[in-house]
Copies of this chain bind each other. A is one copy, B any other.
């Protein structure tokens, strides 16, 4: 599958046609991408997917077969002619990929003709929601694993081709490598792999399987020791092979445990390996790991060097999806709002900027302030729903988060490598105080409105209520 212009929900095309036929589809609109609820009951999310979206947008077209399909669907021929020549020529202001982000705060803003903005909505949501979910999940395993090695083993349980972007997002969130060869190639991520039970089973005995594997893969050789019996057969055989490798001047890299009580088995394995003088042989574990299991294993002092994480990482279990949305804030020269009986769901009108606040020592204050685009002065912040709550700021420094990353449909800077994004992400996360990173009841990072935005929004709400 190739991602073209019809990578979208039908109603985007239908609404695009309505705007087109109305004759003012070329007027400017502003849409904000944001999410409402932090995934995994955590204290932050890692923004991921931006570079993928920018790359696709630069080549977003309706090809001949798409056009033929849309004709069959009965779209207006003048609109079809417009789609045939469609290029995204709008601007995108965005938080940089890899940065930490928080709920109810614009992460990315599209300023484009209303047709353009509508036609790219589904693509943005589809790519940003998923990759942000997975980068955030990965970051949580990184919190648990500290400086140990984390490898993404999730491809077989990922949602089909989603594996490709899951591996990318996992690396951005702090993983060291992936088993996914295509993702490794396309995104220049280190690739890693051991052996499967079937390899051991295909030999008449385990020792013979290990010996042969070590012979043809003396570098990076990790032996899977639980096909028959971990302690009675797998480990003793691995030790024999490690000793034979030593005679050839080679070193066994590690053994892998994939079943049973991993804490107990890792301790037994370490003891057996050490007693054989194989202190350098590493212990890798896999089997239904997630951030909580990793934390628990290390709290039990399990001597584990490498964690292979699969299903829960690449599917973002148990959340399954980030609830990111794309809401209209400005159109045809006027601010726009969506009301709701649920006051937390009332949207923020106008083109906006987001300011991350630091104290005078450049320590994070734990607050992102949303202002009108042109506002410069940072002095106080209103709670987005409860206007009685507000905070004043003195002497704080502010950093603008929304940067122009695409102008007239072209990137404003060259593509970033996934390694650079991962390293930026790690740097940004290091600036976040620890209390926002804990798994249980993390501290709540504040997101609020400037006085002016607060007041203008109240006015707009009132004007609808009077109707």
Contact = CB atoms under 8 A, between A and B. Distances in A.
Contacts of A315: 159, 315, 320-321
A171 to B, nearest CB: 14
A429 interface: no
A195 interface: yes
A11 B159 contact: no
Interface stretch (A2-10, A377-385, A395-403): A2-10
Nearest to A16: B199
Interface of A: 1-4, 6-15, 17-19, 21-22, 29, 31, 65-66, 69, 73-74, 76, 114, 118, 121-122, 125-127, 129-131, 153, 155-166, 179-182, 184-186, 191-199, 201-202, 204-205, 212-213, 216-217, 219, 227-229, 233, 259-260, 311-312, 315-318, 320-324, 326-328, 331-332, 334, 336-342, 345, 464, 467
7 contacts: A1-B186, A13-B193, A19-B202, A74-B219, A158-B321, A202-B336, A227-B338
Contact of A160 (B65, B161, B199): B161
A332 B201 CA distance: 11
A77 to B, nearest CB: 13
9 closest Cβ contacts across the A-B interface?
A10-B193, A11-B193, A159-B162, A125-B156, A315-B320, A198-B328, A162-B162, A159-B159, A161-B161
Contacts of A15: 195-196, 198-199
B196 A11 contact: yes
Contacts of A129: 156-157
Nearest to A341: B260
B10 A179 contact: yes
Contacts of A8: 155, 181-182
Interface centre among A161, A191, A233, A328 (most CB of B within 10 A): A161
Contacts of A153: 9
A181 B123 CA distance: 12
A177 B324 CA distance: 24
Contacts of A118: 196, 198
A216 B10 contact: no
Interface centre among A14, A19, A219, A331 (most CB of B within 10 A): A14
A22 B209 CA distance: 11
A340 B234 CA distance: 12
B29 A202 contact: yes
A101 to B, nearest CB: 18
A264 to B, nearest CB: 12
Contact of A216 (B21, B126, B321): B21
A100 B18 CA distance: 43
A11 B201 contact: no
Given A14-B194, A125-B156, A126-B163, 13 more contacts: A3-B161, A10-B184, A11-B196, A15-B195, A15-B199, A18-B199, A121-B156, A121-B196, A126-B155, A159-B166, A202-B328, A228-B339, A316-B320
A8 B180 CA distance: 6
B318 A318 contact: yes
Contacts of A163: 126
A59 B231 CA distance: 43
A130 B311 CA distance: 11
A336 B18 CA distance: 63
A288 to B, nearest CB: 9
B228 A331 contact: no
A312 B286 CA distance: 28
A125 B320 contact: no
Nearest to A209: B18
Contacts of A326: 198
A217 B31 CA distance: 24
Nearest to A230: B341
A384 to B, nearest CB: 18
Contact of A9 (B17, B179, B259): B179
Contacts of A331: 201-202
Nearest to A124: B156
Contact of A198 (B2, B156, B312, B327): B327
A65 B182 CA distance: 11
A136 to B, nearest CB: 14
A10 B160 contact: no
A10 B193 CA distance: 5
B158 A161 contact: no
